[in-house]
Structure 1
Amino acid sequence: MTPPRTSSPVLVGRGDELAALTGAVASQPSVVLVAGEAGVGKSRLVRELLGRPELGPLRVLTGFCQPLREPFPYGAVLDALRTVGGYLGRVSLSPVTGVLRPLVPELAGHLPDPPERPDDPRHERHHLFRAVRELLSALGPVLLVVEDLHWADDGCRHLLRFLMADPPPNLTTLVTYRREDAPGGMPLGSAYRPPAGVASVLVELGPLDVDQVHDLAAAILGVDAVPAEFAARLHERTAGLPFVVEEVLRALRDPDWRLLDAVEVPALLRDAMAERLAGLPATGRRIAEAAAVLGVPATEDLLAEVGAVAPDRARVALTHALHSGVLHETADVRYGFRHALAQQAVYDTLTGPERQRLHLRALRALDHATPRPFMQLAEHSRRAGLRDDWLRHGEAAADRALEVGDPSTATHLYQRLLDEASLTPADVDRLAVKLGQVARGGLDQHDPRATLERLLDDHRLSTAARGQVRLNLGFLLIRQFDGPRHSRVVLEHAIEELSARPDLAMRARAVLAQPFVGATPLAEHLRWLREVEAFIASRADDEVRFALLANQLGSRMSIGDHTVMEELDRLPGTAADVAVRRHLARAHCNLADAFALVGHFDLARDFLDRGLRLTVGAGVPFTEGTGQSTRLHLDWYRGDWGTLADRAARLLEEYREMLPVAGEINLVLGCLAVARGDWDAAERHLADCGVRSVENSITPVALGGFAALTRLWSERGDPARACAEADRGLDLARRKGVWAWLGELAPAAVDAFRAAGRVEDAARLVAEFDAGLVGRDAPLAQVALKVCRALLAERDEAAFLLEEARRAADELGLRYYSATLSERIARVALERGDDEAVAALGEVAARFDALGASRDAARCRHLVRGAGVATPSRRGRRGYGNALSPRERDVARLLARGRTNREIAEVLFLSPRTVEQHVARVLRKLGAASRVDLLA
């Protein structure tokens, strides 16, 4: 038998996957995601793809993510761009691409001068994203490959998500990743849904089966076939992982296949690498061992220094390591292992003392590098047993990660450092406080929560530091679905422990003063508010003052405190100090949310834009998330529903575990589903907006959820259930005592009570609502109060009050609210016998259609039909050919959710026979033979 090859000459068992990749690349713009565990063959599949003649003159740009990466946002993508200078000589680029000059110096001579830094910091990142996109679009057909995305930085994920969401027509983006190592199992940080017109394919690579292992073994060994029992045993020992199969077979000098039975796979893999290492000269082995210890691709000089190989012998030693297949060349003339398993196998051949010695050499070699590779220095210090250096470099790496906007890396490092048993009390105090500070502004909640809770029982923690840990734990709890109620207890305890730090104790009071959390009565919040206000007046320190104002102004505005309008100049537009800028970002986003709650929607958008600008580069993803959910809610109010559901669903994937953000997003999605008659989706989303546990809710969001549920059951013809949801919501409102938040619940409740004959309850509610708004600045609630009065008034007065309410809604820019009021006005006119009522209902139906409120539009048309008038056409009488008509789109959407004809008829106010005809046309136009095919 011929000696085994270093790898299979043919690709085995991946024909379908390769065809899928080839087809996607040929259909630019396109996105390809290749997922699979370590050793399953992702990189080999990509190499095979790059050799396909079908790719034609495709320019391939490759970037690699590293496990010991230094904090450097966008690193893998920027690395991939370093080689494109030769293609830019005759290309005209816009000024925005100049932002890449300091980031990709290899391209400096080909790029225009950097543009002026934008006044809006949020635009700075967008300029970078646009610059990358334009550069790629100037290169002709491009395949951008990013390997091992599970190790990417957050900035790289965001940039790739931007490119995938709106790719230039000449671009294919291909990423490989291990799902189990990606944050949350999502390599891009949130779920990816390809936009229209972008080809997309997800390839999930699994282990090979027995037959495929047989074929792979035969190809590697250079024979036509191997015995079935050998293939079965090899499959058993390697679990079908192609890389492990290759490594095992590579170690077989003697074709005695019974050797497979002698040892388990991990040992086989180690032995394979050990044997290959043994075939190297001593210098070549030291180079390979240095590469294993370094853990990331390194230059020849660095490998020689760590491996203690003389410079004049290093090149020969490296060549031996390359020719033996131990090492391979990566980008930028660096050398490492072709797979993490190979690196680990070589590392495992070293004894403990040998590892320690090499880590010490790596530490010395990297100690003077510029910029400082703190992450690598920390890891080498830890593995070398240098506790003090590990602490120093690890903390520096975490601090640096936080500076560049990578809080997840910082959180992970602080946690690892705190696991060290030999830390001094001072170390524990400092690191515990830092962990809490970064964790409360980041997205990862559960691991930091567990660490902080464990630290509270650490005897080394001082009382003052324990108070800060408890304070930050309280901040975390208030963001979790099961946490707000418990957070109050934690924060009150923290106040006692922070007696020596009144500034921090006051920040706990500022959170306790926030009225929009849980069912705590407003009177208790006001007590805390007064204490915080008095403290602010006595402090001149900017960071402390703005940290408290960030909560204080939003809290007061959210309950309709009109005096806040006179104090907005207390907030500057920005600040040079990053810590102060974080507080200002939070202050503006909190005020934006408060303005949206009470109905100052223009102010809400203005403050939201300022707040989101301030979050750029500040390392506060949670604040950014709350701002994004506020924007979605504002778009709901304004009627910007075109892409609202998709945007909300994407954001929900990213913030699903964070109560303030996820609750509000679920409310928006639930309200959209009610307007479209998608009852199941509405119930599912509204159940997750706080209505199931009001003590642990964001109160105004929960009240909005009760309003939507009341409308839902009213629409479904169940007045008793509608009243039950209204009663639950009003019970929360009465316990809380903030009537400014009933802009949606009050009209829905009055409607439900009237339908159920509970007129006295409706009148009582209106009286309470009226009294609760005295002296409050709450435009949305005032519109709702007019609607409530109209619902209880006689017909003529009702028409007048509804007209007045609609004008007020129009002034606030509430398109959907205005349309529902227009429908009420038309219905009153219809009851009076007004000849123009039918035409008015038709116009309202068109307004609902424009918004996407298909259930509301169908209800208006149903009323017109009930009046004995032909239903007004939505878009004239034109034919739609093979395209779906608006009504057919409504039917298709409900079909796709598994609805029966009867359920569709109920939602769209159609007869079952009409629905049957629509269903037939939908199936025909979409090329589906049945409902099952459509669902598939």
Structure 2
Amino acid sequence: MDPTALVGRDDDLGRLRLAVRRTPALVQVEGEAGVGKSRLVRELIDTDPAPVLIGYCQQLREPFILGAVLEALRRARPGLRQCAELNPVTAALRVAVPELADLLPEPAAGTGDPMFDRHLLFRAVREVLAALGPVLLVIEDLHWADDGTLQLLRFLMADPPPELAVVVTYRREDVAGGIPLGTAYRPGAGVTSELLRVAPLDVAHVRAMAAAILRTDAVSAEFAAELHEQTAGLPFVLEEVLRSLRPGVIADGAAARRLSDGGEVPVLLRESVAERLAALSPEAARLVRAAAAFATPATVDLLGDFAQLAGDRLRAAVIETLDGSILHDDGTGVLAFRHALARQAAYTTVSAVERRELHERAVRLLGRLDPPPLVQLAEHSRLANRRADWLRYGEAAADHALAVSDAATATPLLRRLLAEPRLTAEAVDRLGVKLGEAAQLGLDARSSAAVLKRLLVDPRLSASARGEVRMQLGLLLGRQGDGVAEGRAQLELAAEELAARPELAAKCMSALAQPFTGDTPLHLVAQWMRKADAAIDGCAEPELRISLMANIVGSLAAVGDPTMDERMADLPTVGMTLGEQRQVARAHTNLADSLTMVGRFDTARDHLRFGTRAAEESGALYVLSTARSTAIRLDWFTGEWDGLAERARPLLVEYRELMAVATELSLVLGLLAMVRGESATAAEHFAETGVRTPRDAIAHIALGGSAGLIRLALRDDDVVLAVLEADAGMALLRRKDAWAWAGELAPAAVDAYLAAGRVHDAEDVARSLAEGIAGVIAPFAAAALHTCLGAIAEHAGASGVEHHLAAAHAYTDLGAPYLAAVARERADARLIADGGASAVEACARSAERYADLGATHDAARCRHLLRTLGVKTPSRQGRRGYGNTLSPREHEVARLLASGQTNNQIAEILFLSPRTVEQHAARVLRKLKLASRREIRGVDLR
């Protein structure tokens, strides 16, 4: 972990640096404990050229007048050595700071007047500071300063040395009377005075700090939001929490939920809170203990009832806890702890006996409210060991959460209820089925799947409920990267167990009918598709009927079934209940994904908009996640690349646990990296698409990943690797027999086979593709067939131009500009081979097409070809008129620098010399006003 990371303090640090340079200056840095005052000052010290003298006020100090300032002066020895002559008055410091005695003048006789001697001491300090020239004096924790130190600081700043800057840090809540310098202070004439209040970090900065400390980019927004709630954005608390996590933790949604379940409070935080509680009056301490047990923010009156305090005793206790910043008021009379971990730390100080009494009292108190706060009642009942109430309130709370689509509240409640060892068989059945239903809505599939697995071997689970629980488990396993095959097996078993419940059996069948998952051949999937389809007409329950349609219609569209348009028209557009609306959302989102797969991009966009809106309205979080990843892939195909990688990366972090979503996002990020020449990054993303584990993959995504790896190998002239990847991808495609999904893989495989001289294999791919898409609606694969035939014709010595032009027109009709540009470039290759003006024009057009899209590497390749033809390409490098803004070429270099590429790597990507790249890099840093290449990573280059 990196404890030195300074996040979210750029503005504060800028103000601090500016103030201390406008000497003489006094800067008061104010903020609560743990907010990062000292860390901010340390950053100033590390970067400020002036000599620094730093002293620390101590909380548990022995009597030592001026202690912090005199400690700071001990560090002045190197500077004083350079002073030719010191004012005689500085001799007064020989006894106070013996480390400087040999550098100070001989002392005069004391006056015997303590007040006069102190005045001499103050003057001596001032003269030493003046002799040092430019100097920064830092006094930390001024709230613990002795009166003499405060008097000295006021004396200094009334008439400070001209090159002195003083920085003091303090916590206002711990300052006597709330006045940091002891009495009202007004700066002397010409003194720069700055009050810098350091605020807690916001969620975005908590996320950035967590990423820096954990050394990972995989910090989800959910994890960051939970961290922010737990720590109130206090860097000290945040760092302590992150230190307590196990090494290598993935900071994703599941980790956020584990944090919210509560964990051990970091030791330093626990000790800090305990120390502050020990200083409270008995009434204030009782109020804090009550607030800790109550757990949720509460009004003063409610918390007073709970703590059994009233009148003046309650008012005094509230004031004391607010003044000590233990509790805080949000301005509406509601009291709460600053952060969740502070509450947990305070709760550890409550004895077991008092805890139970408090939770018993909370149940009685909250039970009188209308409507009753069910989640709170459930938790207080559990902690009070009122088992019957805990089960009753807990299930009611979960039911209410599901009624409002709050799966994040319902699922942990149900998991905890199922962990009760003395549940009746009836309760196990009921709660198990509810957990499965709740888990389908949310994002934490893995935790709920583990509970359902254990439940299947629980003897209390009845045979009638077992099939339904197994079905829910199979559906959840299908979302996990290592659970697709197991999930399918569980669904097949569930279909048998649910034979007596035909509607639920049909739901299993419709899940098994989806062709995307794993390497199950299409003809086996089709058997389930026919059975599930036949059940739709006989299904009387509307929600289940829409659910079956969502699976079947999406599956038919995915394989290019000719009846898809007719079936699509039958899909409902609105549900009469919340459950029906969730299924409507799923139906249209599934269909959008399937239409994207086969290349019907415009129609896919229409269904995606509708499905996304319905998912948002109905709280179907998993459906929403798939909608977002489909939108990312659709944007890739249709050339909507502006900011696409920046949109995809955080989603990948958010949905890392959801295999179907994560692999699709990885594929798009790999494709974007590939067209920008970032081969290593592209390869890493392609490897995460399921290409190595087809049995547990989303097949069409894995096929896209194989195509990407083939292209990377061919770019590196590694024909052997390209063929190996082609063989692996084609093996999956042939096993699935889903040729409508061959749009990305088939052209890449043909190019690999031709490069290796395996003409027969290339021809076999084209022939199989033509046969496989005959009679189906698969415009993407049909366009790819033209590319395959063009490549084969070229290899045989023919032009192949007509096939590549046909592909370019087909891709253009689909609305896929990059694929159209690639096909057009291949068509123009013949002109380039023949030379002449038309070749130059063709190549220049290709370069511009790629540049407009953002395909940096492809554009650079075309420009490089023009240079080899002796054609001077239009300059893209800092032409007159760009001034201090980046030129297009400089922007390309800046983006590659930000991704961590070296000059040599950038030179390869952009087909430039390392020297040229070095010049571009220097201009980029100058224009962006950056001191080093490392700093560019924090710059928004969009």
TM-score by length of 2: 0.71
* Residue in 1 that maps onto 2:562: 562
Aligned partners of 1:144 and 1:174 also within 8 Å:
no
Residue 800 of structure 1, aligned match among 798, 802, 822? 802
Aligned partners of 1:298 and 1:336 also within 8 Å:
yes
2:752 counterpart letter in structure 1: A
CA shift digits 1:655-687 (9 cap, x unpaired): 012110000000000011111110110010000
How far has the Cα of 1:207 moved from its partner? 9.9
* Residue in 2 that maps onto 1:768: 768
Aligned partners of 2:34 and 2:235 also within 8 Å:
no
1:683 counterpart letter in structure 2: A
Quote the Cα distance in structure 2 between the aligned partners of 1:319 and 1:920: 64
Quote the Cα distance in structure 2 between the aligned partners of 1:667 and 1:144: 45
Matched, 1:757 2:732: no
How far has the Cα of 1:801 moved from its partner? 1.9
How far has the Cα of 1:696 moved from its partner? 0.8
Sort the Cα spacing of 1:437 and 1:17 in 2 relative to 1 into closer, same or farther, 3 A.
Answer: closer
Sort the Cα spacing of 1:351 and 1:859 in 2 relative to 1 into closer, same or farther, 3 A.
Answer: closer
2:314 counterpart letter in structure 1: L
* Residue in 2 that maps onto 1:127: none
Aligned partners of 1:148 and 1:176 also within 8 Å:
no
SS state of the match for residue 868, structure 1?
coil
* Residue in 2 that maps onto 1:699: 699
1:819 counterpart letter in structure 2: A
* Residue in 2 that maps onto 1:316: 312
How far has the Cα of 1:887 moved from its partner? 2.2
TM-score by length of 1: 0.71
CA shift digits 1:536-581 (9 cap, x unpaired): 1222321111111111111111011020111222212111301111
Aligned partners of 1:561 and 1:777 also within 8 Å:
yes
Deviates more, 1:642-651 or 1:827-836: 827-836
Sort the Cα spacing of 1:766 and 1:384 in 2 relative to 1 into closer, same or farther, 3 A.
Answer: same
Structure 1: gaps spanning 5 or more residues: 1-12, 28-38, 50-142, 150-159, 165-172, 193-200, 210-237, 251-268
Matches within 5 A, 1:489-638: 489-638=489-638
SS state of the match for residue 774, structure 1?
coil
Deviates more, 1:422-431 or 1:884-893: 884-893
Aligned partners of 2:832 and 2:842 also within 8 Å:
no
Matched, 1:330 2:323: no
Aligned partners of 1:146 and 1:175 also within 8 Å:
no
Sort the Cα spacing of 1:646 and 1:351 in 2 relative to 1 into closer, same or farther, 3 A.
Answer: closer
* Residue in 2 that maps onto 1:868: 870
Quote the Cα distance in structure 1 between the aligned partners of 2:396 and 2:772: 53
How far has the Cα of 1:430 moved from its partner? 1.1
Aligned partners of 1:471 and 1:494 also within 8 Å:
yes
How far has the Cα of 1:710 moved from its partner? 1.1
* Residue in 2 that maps onto 1:721: 721
Matches within 5 A, 1:375-454: 375-454=375-454
2:500 counterpart letter in structure 1: A
Sort the Cα spacing of 1:724 and 1:207 in 2 relative to 1 into closer, same or farther, 3 A.
Answer: closer
2:760 counterpart letter in structure 1: E
Matched, 1:22 2:12: yes
Aligned partners of 1:207 and 1:242 also within 8 Å:
no
Quote the Cα distance in structure 1 between the aligned partners of 2:756 and 2:338: 72
Quote the Cα distance in structure 1 between the aligned partners of 2:438 and 2:932: 53
Aligned partners of 2:37 and 2:198 also within 8 Å:
no
* Residue in 1 that maps onto 2:779: 779
How far has the Cα of 1:239 moved from its partner? 8.5
SS state of the match for residue 562, structure 1?
coil
Instruction: Report which of the two structures shows the higher radius of gyration computed on alpha carbons.
Output: 2
Sort the Cα spacing of 1:854 and 1:449 in 2 relative to 1 into closer, same or farther, 3 A.
Answer: same
* Residue in 2 that maps onto 1:672: 672
How far has the Cα of 1:323 moved from its partner? 5.0
How far has the Cα of 1:783 moved from its partner? 0.5
* Residue in 1 that maps onto 2:222: 189
Residue 41 of structure 1, aligned match among 33, 39, 48? 33
* Residue in 1 that maps onto 2:76: none
2:905 counterpart letter in structure 1: E
Residue 204 of structure 1, aligned match among 220, 231, 235? 235
CA shift digits 1:708-729 (9 cap, x unpaired): 1111111122222112211111
Quote the Cα distance in structure 1 between the aligned partners of 2:711 and 2:482: 27
How far has the Cα of 1:426 moved from its partner? 1.1
Quote the Cα distance in structure 2 between the aligned partners of 1:178 and 1:932: 16
2:634 counterpart letter in structure 1: L
SS state of the match for residue 691, structure 1?
coil
Aligned partners of 1:492 and 1:508 also within 8 Å:
yes
Matches within 5 A, 1:8-19: none
CA shift digits 1:782-834 (9 cap, x unpaired): 11111111122257662122222211111111110111111112111222345
Sort the Cα spacing of 1:24 and 1:557 in 2 relative to 1 into closer, same or farther, 3 A.
Answer: farther
* Residue in 2 that maps onto 1:647: 647
1:845 counterpart letter in structure 2: A
How far has the Cα of 1:295 moved from its partner? 2.3
Sort the Cα spacing of 1:801 and 1:399 in 2 relative to 1 into closer, same or farther, 3 A.
Answer: same
2:312 counterpart letter in structure 1: V
Quote the Cα distance in structure 2 between the aligned partners of 1:144 and 1:394: 43
SS state of the match for residue 221, structure 2?
coil
How far has the Cα of 1:205 moved from its partner? 2.1
Deviates more, 1:910-919 or 1:441-450: 910-919
How far has the Cα of 1:365 moved from its partner? 2.0
Aligned partners of 2:207 and 2:219 also within 8 Å:
no
CA shift digits 1:890-916 (9 cap, x unpaired): 233333444344433322223344334
How far has the Cα of 1:25 moved from its partner? 9.9
SS state of the match for residue 443, structure 2?
coil
Quote the Cα distance in structure 1 between the aligned partners of 2:704 and 2:696: 15
* Residue in 2 that maps onto 1:197: none
How far has the Cα of 1:755 moved from its partner? 1.9
Aligned partners of 1:675 and 1:856 also within 8 Å:
yes
Aligned partners of 1:637 and 1:816 also within 8 Å:
yes
Quote the Cα distance in structure 2 between the aligned partners of 1:596 and 1:539: 29
Quote the Cα distance in structure 1 between the aligned partners of 2:465 and 2:199: 42
How far has the Cα of 1:415 moved from its partner? 1.0
CA shift digits 1:585-626 (9 cap, x unpaired): 111000000000001101100000010011123222111011
CA shift digits 1:451-490 (9 cap, x unpaired): 1122122111112222222211111111111111111111
Aligned partners of 2:876 and 2:889 also within 8 Å:
no
Structure 2: gaps spanning 5 or more residues: 18-30, 42-195, 226-231, 241-264
2:464 counterpart letter in structure 1: A
Aligned partners of 2:34 and 2:234 also within 8 Å:
no
How far has the Cα of 1:874 moved from its partner? 5.0
Deviates more, 1:543-552 or 1:914-923: 914-923
Quote the Cα distance in structure 1 between the aligned partners of 2:863 and 2:852: 15
* Residue in 2 that maps onto 1:106: none
Sort the Cα spacing of 1:531 and 1:925 in 2 relative to 1 into closer, same or farther, 3 A.
Answer: same
Residue 840 of structure 1, aligned match among 839, 842, 847? 842
Aligned partners of 2:766 and 2:788 also within 8 Å:
yes
Matches within 5 A, 1:263-274: 272=278
Give the number of aligned pairs.
Answer: 731
CA shift digits 1:407-426 (9 cap, x unpaired): 22211111111111121111
Sort the Cα spacing of 1:715 and 1:208 in 2 relative to 1 into closer, same or farther, 3 A.
Answer: closer
Q: Pick 1 or 2: higher relative contact order, CA cutoff 8 A, min separation 6.
A: 1
Quote the Cα distance in structure 1 between the aligned partners of 2:791 and 2:715: 17
Quote the Cα distance in structure 2 between the aligned partners of 1:894 and 1:347: 50
Quote the Cα distance in structure 2 between the aligned partners of 1:44 and 1:855: 44
